[in-house]
């Protein structure tokens, strides 16, 4: 997708409030990828992404910016926790796993795209297969009808969903189950390892026609897709378009206390070659990490960015600081974003015939309370809104449903907010006096 940095920021603004500096940084990084792709191969090899490190409290949009960015351009994206990795020599996750996860994500993206391209052909083949099954099952109903006309009627009924709930016995592929070699480790699929060495097993299963059709379409799609081409494209996308978001990087920063523990500095040194550029072997082939965009993030309450080893700091030349959310930000989050929190609660309760509306003064009160609780206790950013909204709507959510009632209009105003959140506000006021 060929978007200018301004267009990228405008897209991000639909879902994320504030944090303009961080949005600009990721928008420029993304545009630079497009610019690089237009260069000659010789120049392209010389230009590497400018990795970004985000500093800011939890819940202010660090992960969401990276996630929305990847979704915007349909790029392979993985989010990993730096604290999950251990230094080489210890039992635990290997840092190369993040690259393997990225390739797996790229493979699924490409596979889905190729499946969509062949879906019409695959559906046609699956329908023919299902019509034969149904014709055999309903041969007693055929009577004097010619076989072609009978099958045409079955196909028409199948497409209209007449047989969706009918249970049939279908011969489908038996997928080997994945095995976990060690707790917390990667799940290994023996079928994918041995490939064609193991013959494809099939088994009879009782399924509804609708379920069987999905399996038939998937099987027919597999026959039409060039698996080698999918793997090659997945590797190319992972190398050139992949985004790896390393969260909680501040938790592996800081000085060692001398105790015999998994070395935080050792984890940094293991991450370093991945970010600098190395080759990682995956089940789809070798992947160079030189052109993957790395975005690291952390709250850095206790440690500082400067506490990371200098070599790792040098691989993140773009540093941006995200600010704590204000009352105005909370108002915008509640009303100005696509699929905002107030909209989400309204559509959820509409299922139980509650017509939920929020007055502007109620929105303002919720924003005030959320901001002040973040100031007087732990600052958890926009996640505070979830706590406040759950407390506010607890009675309505609990009492709704359970019968065929007419639509009940419910208006939330400031007085309702203050009455139902008085316990939270009382605790908030008391904390002002606790030193």
356: which strand partners?
A: 410
**How would DSSP label each residue in 288-304?**
E-TT-EEEEEE--SSS-
Provide the token pair at 53: 């490190």
- Does residue 114 lie in a domain region? no
413 occurs within a structural domain: yes
Question: Do residues 167 and 256 share a domain?
Answer: no
pLDDT at 182: 44
Number of neighbours of residue 389 by Cβ within 10 angstroms: 17
Q: On the CB side of 283, how many CA atoms lie within 13 Å of its CA?
A: 17
Looking at the structure of the chain, the number of domains it has is: 3
429 pLDDT above the threshold of 80: no
More confident residue, 332 or 197: 332
Tens digit of each residue's pLDDT (9 = 90 or more) over 53-63: 999 888 888 88
Residue 302: is its pLDDT beyond 60? yes
Residue 208 tokens, joined: 């509804």
User: How many whole angstroms separate alpha carbon 425 and alpha carbon 412?
Assistant: 17
How far apart are alpha carbons 433 and 307 in whole angstroms?
A: 34
435 domain-assigned: no
- Asked whether residue 230 is domain-assigned, the answer is no
Q: Does the residue 84 lie in any domain?
A: yes
Residues 131 and 196 in one domain: yes
Per the prediction, the chain carries an average pLDDT of: 85
CB 383 within 8 A of CB 435: no
297 lies in the same domain as 378 = no
Does the residue 111 lie in any domain? Answer: no
Q: Please report, for the domain that includes residue 342, its CATH number.
A: 1.10.8.60
Q: Are 173 and 317 in the same domain?
A: no
Model pLDDT, residue 183 = 42
Same domain, 265 and 332: no
Residues 283, 380 within the same domain: no
In this predicted structure, what is the pLDDT of residue 433? 43
Residue 83's pLDDT band (cuts 50, 70, 90): confident
| Continuous segment of H or E residues that includes residue 276 | helix 264-276
Do 199 and 125 have their domain in common? yes
Confidence class of residue 289 from pLDDT cuts 50, 70 and 90?
very high
Angle, vertex CA 392, rays to CA 388 and CA 394, nearest 5: 115
Residue pLDDT, tens place only, 231-251: 999 999 999 999 999 998 988
Shared domain for 376 and 310, answered yes or no, is: no
**Domain range spanning residue 378?**
327-428
- Give the tens place of pLDDT for each residue, 100-141: 999 999 999 999 999 999 999 999 999 999 998 888 888 777
**Bridge-partner residues for 205, per DSSP?**
170
Model pLDDT for residues 308-344, shown as the tens digit of each residue: 889 999 999 999 999 888 999 999 999 888 888 999 9
Q: 112 lies in a domain?
A: no
Of 268, 297, 321, the one marking the end of a domain is: 321
Positive or negative, the CA dihedral 28, 30, 31, 37 is: positive
Residue where one domain finishes, among candidates 224, 253, 276: 224
Write out the E strands in 62-162: 77-81
Determine the pLDDT at residue 186. 47
CATH number (domain holding residue 54): 3.40.50.300
Domain final residue pick, 224, 249, 279: 224
What is the reported pLDDT for 361? 94
Position 405 in a domain: yes
């Amino acid at each position: 997708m060929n978007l200018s940095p301004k267009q990228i920021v405008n897209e991000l603004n639909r879902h994320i409030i504030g944090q303009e500096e961080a949005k600009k940084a990721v928008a420029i990084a993304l545009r630079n990828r497009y610019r690089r792709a237009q260069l000659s191969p010789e120049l392209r090899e010389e230009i590497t992404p400018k990795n970004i490190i985000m500093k800011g409290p939890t819940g202010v949009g660090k992960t969401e910016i990276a996630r929305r960015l990847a979704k915007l351009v349909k790029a392979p994206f993985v989010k990993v926790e730096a604290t999950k990795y251990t230094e080489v020599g210890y039992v635990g996750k290997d840092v190369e796993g993040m690259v393997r996860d990225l390739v797996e994500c790229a493979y699924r993206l490409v596979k889905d795209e190729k499946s969509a391209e062949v879906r019409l052909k695959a559906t046609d083949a699956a329908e023919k297969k299902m019509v034969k099954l149904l014709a055999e099952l309903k041969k007693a109903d055929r009577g004097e009808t010619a076989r072609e006309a009978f099958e045409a009627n079955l196909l028409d009924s199948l497409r209209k969903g007449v047989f969706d709930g009918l249970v049939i016995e279908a011969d489908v592929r038996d997928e080997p189950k994945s095995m976990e070699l060690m707790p917390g480790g990667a799940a290994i699929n023996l079928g994918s390892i041995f490939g064609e060495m193991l013959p494809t097993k099939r088994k009879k299963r009782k399924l509804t026609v609708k379920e069987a059709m999905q399996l038939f379409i998937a099987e027919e799609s597999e026959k039409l897709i060039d698996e080698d081409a999918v793997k090659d494209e997945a590797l190319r996308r992972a190398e050139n378009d992949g985004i790896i978001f390393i969260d909680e990087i501040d938790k592996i920063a800081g000085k060692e206390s001398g105790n015999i523990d998994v070395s935080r500095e050792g984890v940094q040194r293991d991450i370093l070659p991945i970010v600098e550029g190395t080759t990682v072997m995956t089940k789809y082939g070798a992947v160079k990490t030189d052109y993957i965009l790395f975005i690291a993030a952390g709250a850095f309450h206790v440690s500082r960015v400067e506490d990371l080893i200098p070599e790792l700091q040098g691989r993140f030349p773009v540093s941006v600081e995200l600010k704590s959310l204000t009352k105005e930000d909370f108002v915008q989050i509640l009303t100005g974003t696509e699929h905002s929190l107030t909209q989400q609660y309204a559509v959820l309760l509409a299922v139980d015939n509650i017509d939920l509306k929020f007055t502007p003064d109620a929105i303002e009160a919720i924003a005030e309370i959320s901001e002040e609780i973040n100031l007087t206790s732990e600052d958890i950013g926009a996640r505070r809104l979830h706590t406040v909204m759950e407390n506010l709507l607890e009675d309505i959510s609990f009492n709704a449903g359970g019968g065929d009632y007419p639509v009940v209009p419910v208006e939330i105003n400031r007085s309702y907010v203050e009455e139902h959140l008085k316990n939270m506000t009382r605790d908030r006021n008391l904390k002002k006096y606790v030193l």
